[in-house]
Structures are given as structure tokens and as C-alpha cells.
Amino acid sequence: MVKYVFVTGGVVSGLGKGITGASLGRLLKARGYKVVMQKFDPYINVDPGTLNPIQHGEVFVTDDGTETDLDLGHYERFINENLNSNSNVTTGKIYWSVINKERRGDYGGRTVQVIPHITNEIKDRFYHAQSDDENTVAIIEIGGTVGDIESQPFLEAIRQFQSEVGRENAIIVHVTLIPYLKASQELKTKPTQMSVKELQGMGLWPNVLVCRSDFPLEDEMRAKIAQFCNVKKDHVLENLDAKSLYEVPLMLEEEDFAKVVCEDLEIPCPQPDLEKWRAIVECSKHPKTSVDIALVGKYIALHDAYLSVVEALRHAGIFHRCEVNIHWIDSDTLTKENVNETLSGMKGILVPGGFGVRGTEGMIIAAKYARENKIPYLGLCLGMQIAIIEFARNVCGLYDAHSSELNPSTSHPVITILPEKDGLENIGGTLRLGSYPCVLKEDTKAKDLYKKSEISERHRHRYEVNNEYRQILQQKGMIISGTSPDKYIVEMVELQEHPFFVATQAHPEFKSRPDEPHPLFVGFVEAVLK
């Protein structure tokens, strides 16, 4: 039967519950278990699609077109499995479903309450195996911090669920903080004790404590935590900061994380196969060279807004045994006057996705600089649209060329909205989302990189290349290297007389893995190295 591991967090947010859960997933998968992962977020938004990326970070998109929390990107990268719409559940989704059921009369006129209706809906969303004999562990992260009012229904649902399936089939891993007081030069366990006490007051007893700390935990301190928190001493694990996220599974393996989890779940714990993962970490820790790449974006105030892009660059760097130094360039500050000073010394330029007009003129300047100075350029989603706008203006002579999203009055809308999307007012869920097929043109860099003619990539955008301008773009030297199977939608473009100028309407960063780096990023970093 399916075994469940619930990952909760205490003391403060941002302790790395997602990385802890993803690391456990990697360690269990290395032992032959099937691993599935879910994230339950307490916020009332139906999904993170309309959240400000500077506040919330990147919106990660799954193959089936679900806009999700960025932690799902960590999950996919660590366990190398594609997740789906059931992998990210919010309070908004839960209440939306319950209210719709009430309106349809599904509850037969009964009063709808948090218990049992909301908690039942939450339990219904927990992973369910296709059959009882699946060798599966479901790892379910609960967002927020224990004590938050928003998290209470989720924690109550776990309490009920444990009673229903048995505590040996559903355990709790609690990620907490052991702060260091500089004045007294000591680690303090009281915040962890209080966090566990808060959980126990809700009827939940954590099986494993993963303690974030700046310094190693002495045996005496582990014993103290175990005694006060009612857990076994060898189930109190330390989780120190790591230079690379990909070191965390190996560090937790040294702490016997998988062993204690398997012990509590009453399942075997064979020796893991972590050789490939160790090789990845070895390459990331000992690069042979380094390169400087400018990431020109509008959301750089929060680097997590481009998390998957950063990780995809790191994956390509690991592949080439190269350290990728990312230089964060605020496109809102980039001008014709300072572009030479700002981008000189950069060996590659990447323009990522985004929405809205702010900062786009700086991106256009960056694309022009890359094109004219033969600097490798990779454009992602908006980055492809920017490359086409720049090319249309400065090569095709369409001087006010723009996107109708960014300048509705432009006389040359080289980027425009699809006819079937025109007139939509509700911005939530109206994008072209998820995995779409693309056919690559022969004798192009894209075809050489992918090494196949038909591919699929994940999308998150509303505007497309205006087909009325295809002819002039191609006449002036832009190659349309990828289209939809019916050739109606432009998916990829490149420039022939350039060492590497490739742009895609998709978000290839979502599919990159440390052990399977994405070919576009591998090719980009290779061009930068050359």
C-alpha cells in the first residue's frame, strides 16, 4: 500500500521544506521506491498564476498546464518525474471545490463546515495509488508555518488521515530552526520545542525533526531536543547550509534521513544507488573553468522569480564542468548610454520571460547588443518576442515595431494576441499553458541541439508572433527554426550569421534536470565557452 510522509515547518518560513522533501524523494527513489510529491499551499489564491513574481517567485508550469508553486520545480529536478495538476493544491482550490458542491446541492442541504467538509476535501486530494500493491511513497509538503491560522485545516486533515490509515503508514517530518545567538555564542532549542508543542496541541506528533542550523548539533543537544519533543534521538537530524542545493540529499543521507523514515514507515531500506548524483555534486563543486552570463530581466529584485532559469544554467554548467557566474541586470535600468559599460565582459546574454511593458526597452537594447556584437543570446518566451521586435526595428526597418500587448497603438504589431484569445477579460487561466509540440526545421541550430525533428516544450504566455510579418523577417535573415505541427504558430527562431542566437516561445528551463540538462542551455553555455 502507499506510504505517506507529511513535511511541515516550524518557527519561521523559508527553512527549506521543499528541498527537504525533494531530497527525501531522491533518497527513496535511489532505493527503488516510486516517489510522488505534492505541495499544499495555505494561500487563498486558486493558483499562483496571478501572483507578483517579486513577492512570490517563479510560477512553475507542469506538462498538463497547471500553474504551480516554485517548489514543484525542485521536486521535478530532484526526483526526475513530471508532476501534474494534483501536485499543487491551494486553499483557494479547496474552497472553490466545496462551494461549487454546495451550490449543486451535493451536501443535501447540510450545513457546510470546515470539519468535515473542508478537511474531507483536503484528504480527497492526498495522493491515491492506482492499485494497492504500488511500491509508492507520497511526500506531501504543507506550506506555511505551524501556528499560522491558514494552515490549521490542513494539519487537522493530516490528524484525521493518520487515524484512518494508521500512524505507521503516514508519518510527519517537521523542519525547524535551531537559531544561534551571537551575543551568548550558543545554539537555542526553545523555538523548536515550542514549534513541536504547537503541533502536539493539534494532535500531531512529528516522527523526524530536521533541524536547520548554522553549526553542527552536538549529541547532548540532540538528546535534549529528543527528550523535550518526544522523538527518538537518532530521529533528530541536522541540516546545515550547503553551497549547492544538490548537496543536500547527500548531506541528509549522512544523517540517515531515509533510514529513519523507512524505519517509521515499516518498509525496507536497501542501499541506495547515488553514484550519478554524487558525480553531479562533484562536478558542481570542482569546475574546470567559469563563464560570465548576463541575465537581463525585470524581476531581479527577487532571484527566485527566475529560479528554473538559474538552475537550468547550473545544469548546463555541470555538464560542461563549468561554473556559470550570473550577472543580474535590471532591464529597467539598461539604456543606450550605459549598455556598453553594463554588458562589456559578458560572454553570453539571456533574456527570460515576463509580463508587462516595464523594462522591455532595456531588454530590446540587450538583444541588439548581443546581435551586433556576436555574443551568444538565448531568449525565453518574452525573450523571443523581444528578439523579434529588435530585429524588426533595426534590421527590417519597421521602426515602431512592438508587441500589441506592450504598445497597443503600434503600426507594426510583430507580436500579437491569438484570435481565439482576443477579448478575454479574466486573466486567470487564459494563457497558452503546458506542453505543446514543435516541429524543428532541418539544418538549424535548434535541430542540431535537440537531435530530433519533433519536440515538446512547456508554455506560459498569451501573445504570439504575428504571421503577417513572417515573410519580411525571413527575407532579412531570421530563421524560423520551429513551428507548431500545423505551421501556424512560430515556436523558435534563430540567426544564421551568428555564433549562437536562439530564442523560443516556450520555457525550456522547466524541463531541465541536473542529470538531464536541457539541450538549449547546454548549447548556449557551450557557445559561451567558445
The 10s digit of each residue's pLDDT in 320-349 is: 999 999 999 999 999 999 999 999 999 999
> Do the beta carbons of residue 446 and residue 440 sit within 8 Å?
yes
> Do the beta carbons of residue 407 and residue 385 sit within 8 Å?
no
Q: Name the grid cell of 405.
A: 500587448
Q: Name the grid cell of 68.
A: 504551480
For 15-27, write each residue's pLDDT tens digit.
Answer: 999 999 999 999 9
Closest Cα partner for 512 from 303, 307, 277, 326?
307
pTM of the model: 0.92
The whole-number pLDDT of residue 127 equals 86
The whole-number pLDDT of residue 50 equals 82
The dihedral built from the CA positions of residue 182, 184, 185 and 186, taken in this order, carries a sign that is negative
The whole-number pLDDT of residue 427 equals 47
Q: How far is CA 429 from the centre of its chain?
A: 18
Residue 418: pLDDT band with limits 50, 70, 90: low
Q: What is the mean pLDDT of residues 42-69?
A: 89
Q: What is the mean pLDDT of residues 266-270?
A: 95
Residue 417 reports pLDDT greater than 90 = no
For 135-186, write each residue's pLDDT tens digit.
Answer: 899 999 999 999 999 999 999 999 999 999 999 999 999 999 999 998 888 9
Q: What is the mean pLDDT of residues 57-77?
A: 93
Residue 473's H or E segment, with its range, is helix 470-475
For 389-402, write each residue's pLDDT tens digit.
Answer: 999 999 999 999 99
Residue 54: pLDDT band with limits 50, 70, 90: confident
* Mean pLDDT of the residues in the chain: 93
Q: Name the grid cell of 141.
A: 509538503
Q: What is the mean pLDDT of residues 93-98?
A: 96
Catalytic residue among 229, 381, 396, 438: 381
Residue 266 annotated among the catalytic residues of the structure? no
Q: Dihedrals φ, ψ of 417, to 5°? A: -85, 145
Q: Name the grid cell of 213.
A: 542550523
Q: What is the mean pLDDT of residues 126-138?
A: 77
Residue 341 annotated among the catalytic residues of the structure? no
The whole-number pLDDT of residue 131 equals 57
The whole-number pLDDT of residue 425 equals 46
Closest Cα partner for 265 from 353, 128, 456, 135?
135
Q: What angle do CA 45, 47, 52 make, to 5 degrees?
A: 75
The whole-number pLDDT of residue 130 equals 61
Q: What secondary structure does DSSP assign to 369-420, as a single string? A: HHHHTT--EEEETHHHHHHHHHHHHHTS--TT-EETTT-TT-S-EEEEE-GG
Q: What is the mean pLDDT of residues 493-502?
A: 95
Q: Which residues pair with 416 in a beta bridge?
A: 464
Catalytic residue among 174, 412, 507, 518: 507
For 513-527, write each residue's pLDDT tens digit.
Answer: 999 999 999 999 999
Residue 81 annotated among the catalytic residues of the structure? no
DSSP 8-state secondary structure symbol assigned to residue 170: E
How far apart are alpha carbons 42 and 446 in whole angstroms? 41
Catalytic residue among 121, 390, 494, 509: 509
